[in-house]
Amino acid sequence: MTRLFQLDSEDDIENVVAQFKQIAQKAMHEYDLDGEQIRFNQLSDTCTFVIETEKDGTYLLRIHGNKNRNEIDSEIAWLSYLHEKIEVAIPTGIACRNGSKTVSIDLANGDCVFVSVMSWVEGEHVDDELTEDQVYKEGVLLAKLHTVSQDFQFTPEFTRPIWGEDSFKESMTRLTEQYQRFLTEEEFELYELAADKILTCLDKLDKNSSHYGIIHGDLHQGNIVFHNGDPHPIDFGRCGFGYFLYDIAHTILGLYPAQRERVIKGYESLRKLEGDWLPTLESFTVMVMIENYSHHAPDSRETEGLKEEQPYAIPMIKNYLNSKPFLFHSKVEK
């Protein structure tokens, strides 16, 4: 295992992608896919390529630079279970010639990286504003995923990240080192106060299976595609253990208040939210926002965008600190 995704400048990207393409081409020798063409897709926490074959259709090849084999195999096992239990298109792992769904590729420096090939999920991102029906169906999708999660029996080898108090503290540590790129001292003090309130909230929650389990962990609008009117989830690379409300927070953060209400209504058409869930969802929504900024802060290419988002983020944090509802236009019926 090695880290491959540290870029010092914009000029590095082309060279890094060329390096990854060589790894992808080497990995493809391990699979029985005919006439494949390899096209670069995205460089983020993983580097992905679209594999187009003459007979077998389209696949997604992923190069994992910072995960161990158990983590990748566990994700693929979870996706296989979802595929069996849910009537929604789910990306699933493709076995190579030796039957494994994870391939190890040796590098010239003696390190190695792991590669996986996934089935392609048909669909397109919504370029225009989402309709009421679309966001409602996103809520239904979340509820379906969480319902299946409750029955999943994982083996002792199952290894996925835990999204909660410790992971959030790590995000705040990273933000503390980078905040001056896009925040003033006064603004960062608000972030610190919000973080304290979030951690207090997390400390009071229990891990009951009715509201805690395996979650997608990153189901924002960029990881949802629509096909024939229905939402399909993609990129489960962040799936792990967490609260279902934390999962919902990822989906609603980038939506308008009225759209958020439709997500909740869609969700509750299958799964009723329990107890005083709204303040907890508010905590998770601010938590997700802070985590996002922490993740992008070290990348100088993201700095201007982070600055532009603060006129939206700071009022949200102030409302949160003052216990003033901010997610919806009206209080959702509970």
Q: Assess if residue 200 is contained within a domain.
A: yes
Quote the number of domains for the chain: 2
Q: Assess if residue 3 is contained within a domain.
A: no
76, 157 contact by CB (below 8 A): no
What does the pLDDT read at residue 93?
Answer: 98
Report the helix count and the strand count for the chain, using DSSP H and E. Answer: 9, 9
Residues 217 and 167 in one domain: yes
What does the pLDDT read at residue 154?
Answer: 87
What strands, in cross-sheet order, belong to the sheet with 58-64? 37-43, 46-52, 58-64, 112-119, 103-106
Q: What is the CATH number of the domain that holds 53?
A: 3.30.200.20
> pTM here?
0.93
What's the whole-number mean pLDDT along residues 273-283? 95
210, 274 contact by CB (below 8 A): yes
Final residue of a structural domain among 58, 88, 119: 119
% pLDDT > 70, the chain = 95
Domain with 291, as residue range(s), is: 132-322
Q: Assess if residue 218 is contained within a domain.
A: yes
What are 150-181's pLDDT values in tens digits?
989 989 999 999 999 999 999 999 999 999 99
Residues 78 and 152 in one domain: no
**333 has pLDDT over 50:** no
**101 has pLDDT over 60:** yes
Final residue of a structural domain among 119, 142, 157: 119
What does the pLDDT read at residue 7?
Answer: 53
Q: Assess if residue 5 is contained within a domain.
A: no
What does the pLDDT read at residue 11?
Answer: 61
Final residue of a structural domain among 119, 149, 164: 119
Cα–Cα distance between 250 and 216 in angstroms, integer?
9
Cα–Cα distance between 290 and 287 in angstroms, integer?
5
**334 has pLDDT over 80:** no
**Residue type (1 letter), 124:** E
Q: Assess if residue 156 is contained within a domain.
A: yes
Residues 89 and 233 in one domain: no
Cα–Cα distance between 189 and 249 in angstroms, integer?
23
- pLDDT band, very low/low/confident/very high, at 1 (cuts 50, 70, 90): very low
Cα–Cα distance between 63 and 47 in angstroms, integer?
5
Q: What is the CATH number of the domain that holds 305?
A: 3.90.1200.10
**209 has pLDDT over 70:** yes
What does the pLDDT read at residue 3?
Answer: 46
Task: Rank 24-28, 63-67, 193-197 by mean pLDDT and report only the highest.
Answer: 193-197
